[in-house]
Amino acid sequence: MSEKSQIGPERSASSTFSKRPVEGHPAEWTGKLRHIGVAADHGGYELKEYLAGKLRESGFAVVDFGDGRPNKDDDYPTFIVPLARAVAAGRVQRGVGVCGSGVGASVCANKVAGVRACLIHESFSAHQGVEDDDLNLICFGGQVVGHALAWELLRTFLAAQFTGAERHRRRLAEVADLESKPQKEVS
């Protein structure tokens, strides 16, 4: 298979592979990002703790929305909703939501207007989601993705910047319009 077919339409190999995170100080690969929110239920607790530690080691201010301990009876909305609200309000610049599969965290976060969350398990979407769709909250499955891969994907997500291209702004305006209007009945 050719490189072009592996990386999708309208993307060059150099633009895709140059988006990998840069080693070194976080200022070299994150621009102005400094405040990152994290949240997880029991299914994502261990991964959240690992990622929060790596973020702190890299110089980020981490706001932890919980859970503060593994509790098999907790529910992901209890932690993901406050994280998503903080992202939408700009109290944290980006967020990391983790549950067992990552699906519930993603669904829940996307119910908060202004949040663009996605379950990510591979590097292309980790940067492309930010570049094209202004992704501001990344979700992981704590029972699905390993620590090293999650850290690589988080670094890629944090290093990416929204391109601001007109077509992307137009699409995001359509999404924001959906969030601001009541649902119409389907006949």
* Cβ contact 141:101 at 8 Å: yes
Mean pLDDT of the residues in the chain: 84
Domains and CATH numbers, the chain: 26-179 (3.40.1400.10)
125: part of which helix (H) or strand (E)?
helix 123-133
List active site positions: 99
Tell me the average pLDDT across 132-139: 96
Highest mean pLDDT among 23-32, 58-67, 163-172: 58-67
Is the model's pLDDT at 8 over the cut of 80? Answer: no
Q: Is the peptide bond before 67 cis (omega within 30 degrees of 0)?
A: yes
Taking the C-alpha atoms of residue 85 and residue 58, their distance in angstroms, rounded to an integer, is 25
Q: Between 31 and 120, where is the model more confident?
A: 120
The whole-number pLDDT of residue 101 equals 97
Q: Between 32 and 136, where is the model more confident?
A: 136
The whole-number pLDDT of residue 186 equals 57
The whole-number pLDDT of residue 31 equals 58
How far apart are the two ends of the chain, measured CA to CA in Å?
45
In which region does residue 92 sit, left (phi positive, over 0), alpha (psi from -120 to 50) or beta (all else)?
A: beta
Quick: pLDDT tens for 138-147. 999 999 999 9
Percent of the chain with pLDDT over 70: 81
167: part of which helix (H) or strand (E)?
helix 166-180
Tell me the average pLDDT across 37-59: 97
Quick: pLDDT tens for 78-89. 999 999 999 999
The whole-number pLDDT of residue 181 equals 80
pTM above 0.85, yes or no: no
Is the model's pLDDT at 75 over the cut of 80? Answer: yes
